[in-house]
A and B are shown apart, each in its own frame.
Chain A
């Protein structure tokens, strides 16, 4: 487990960050540019030294100001994928990949060359120079190079920020494969909510050098007080569901979770597969009774948990649906007329779903599509 608490003064800006992250999965540090995210992973890597605090992974102490421990970068064995790849221009892709690997004693190599090349689809690039590679290819090589250095932890600093939408769609499945197939914890820095929603298991929300919230993605995204930080347009909850069955004749899939079922356009995932949906607050309607005679298919029994102002005329309503949460953005007038208050049972109507459907490893152009359901 990564256990971190750092304090650092950077000019007029102070960073005071503490969080823990699991040994498995992706921990996303999410926040706006300049919120201090990259400083955090630079401290983890050892590229920047905090004024005070500690950084530990399991029993290994990398930094502890009280105990005067500061392990040099090259001894930490923490992988780092930079935003700009930073491949060595004078080496082939193969030499780049082997750079870290060759610096690890043979007996400590758990991750072998061939499987990584296979996982990241690098076989046809091995003899090329970085100069001729596309942005997406460069990042894949950078993933492989960091992985083959046998890291205890893999840091990624906005690995897709310099890529266009198509390249980004191409690279995301590879990060998912790293997450699912390699037993290495990943700390991902991102300011793009769609990346976080799709890739992260744990979310650490950072604003102005402080941790504003941390926890499972669904729990953090379901909070109303954070929409200003996550971005008002993208406000909305995240649901983790299971594919229950498909209805081929209607081209639909039925997804289940502890709060009920959602029917969505057919998803190319097998029955039993996990699917994560981002349901924007503006796509959720609140009714007092189950409606009849409307085209909406998805109605979930819900309970109002919290109501908060979201703008001059709008309010965000947090709804408990089973053990999960939805957020609905409605007018304040509607809140008044429907007498929405904590504890009131209502019906949540889901009118659109932003899909993050493809976790299968195939690049998909369906990413981020919002469909009416």
Chain B
């Protein structure tokens, strides 16, 4: 007997892909946002900070709805993307990635920003006196020292992205094999007569993936901390 049914495998792989793409594109932006918010003060910082955190406090359905309105083929941004590049986000896996990238973004920024703020600014001043410019300092001092926060932020955000429901179903609907991630598949299963067993199995998979991600996050963060000489 197979461990997973083809339907379960499809949903799991799709979830991993959707979350993976979301983190891959979201992480650099999150690092940038965390660096700027953690190191610099500028007019309008509170507003930017608020916008970054908005998906954390908004109901995910609202986030999905806003995406639907703006990124749909008739939306301001979505329409332009569709007409100019032929890129369609609505009802696609890429759209699902966008939705979970938006909802998990604040989680990444928060974790990374905490580790940026924990880095002694004096180290950057020292690097300056040794001839390192801003980009040089970012890659040789800040990035390695924020690595533990970056890793755990990325992994927690990945786990959260795998589990996102409201934003995904609102923006890209629930299409098996295309946009039906694990939580959506669970939901669909519970709506079908006799789907309880399938739902339970899918829930167990979700549980395992989430737990694995959290443990991996702890483990890797500890390893990196040792690697950069903090422990």
Contacts and interface: CB of A to CB of B under 8 A. Distances in A.
Given A88-B141, A89-B230, A78 B129 contact: yes
Contacts of A78: 129
A80 B126 contact: yes
B223 to A, nearest CB: 13
Given A86-B120, A86-B125, A99 B228 contact: no
Contacts of B140: 99
B140 to A, nearest CB: 8
Interface of A is mostly: loop
B123 A86 contact: yes
A73 B127 CA distance: 10
A97 to B, nearest CB: 10
Contacts of B120: 86
Contacts of B228: 89-90
Contacts of A130: 229
Nearest to B231: A131
A149 B127 CA distance: 11
A84 B127 CA distance: 14
Contacts of A88: 123, 126-127, 141
B229 A86 contact: no
Contacts of B230: 89-90, 131
A47 interface: yes
A89 B145 contact: yes
Interface string B123-156: 1011111111100100011001100000000000
B122 interface: yes
A91 B145 CA distance: 10
A79 to B, nearest CB: 7
Interface residues of A, number: 29
Interface string A218-252: 00000000000000000000000000000000000
B229 A131 contact: yes
Interface string A60-83: 000000000000111111111010
Contact of A73 (B128, B144, B229): B128
Nearest to A84: B122
A105 B136 CA distance: 16
Interface residues of B, number: 21
A327 B132 CA distance: 49
B7 interface: no
B129 A80 contact: yes
B122 A145 contact: no
Contact of A145 (B125, B130, B145, B227): B130
B75 to A, nearest CB: 44
A80 B144 CA distance: 23
Interface string A90-105: 1100000001100110
Given A89-B229, A90-B227, A131-B229, A47 B131 contact: no
A116 interface: no
A80 B120 CA distance: 17
A78 B130 CA distance: 8
Contacts of A80: 126, 129
A47 B125 contact: yes
A343 to B, nearest CB: 52
B123 A104 contact: no
A47 B126 CA distance: 10
A149 B130 contact: yes
A82 B133 contact: no
Nearest to B137: A74
Given A86-B122, A88-B141, A90-B145, A47 B128 contact: yes
Given A86-B123, A90-B144, A79 B229 contact: no
Contact of B130 (A46, A103, A131): A103
Nearest to B123: A86
Given A88-B123, A88-B141, A74 B128 contact: yes
A103 B132 contact: yes
A49 interface: no
Contacts of B128: 46-47, 72-74
Interface string B111-123: 0000000001011
13 contacts: A72-B128, A73-B129, A74-B128, A74-B130, A80-B126, A88-B123, A89-B228, A90-B145, A90-B230, A91-B229, A99-B132, A103-B132, A149-B129
Given A72-B128, A90-B229, A100-B130, 7 more contacts: A74-B128, A80-B126, A88-B127, A89-B145, A103-B131, A131-B230, A149-B131
Interface of A: 45-47, 72-80, 82, 84, 86, 88-91, 99-100, 103-104, 129-131, 145-146, 149
- Ranked nearest first, the 7 interchain pairs of A and B with the lowest CB-CB distance are A90-B228, A100-B130, A103-B131, A86-B126, A80-B129, A73-B128, A129-B229
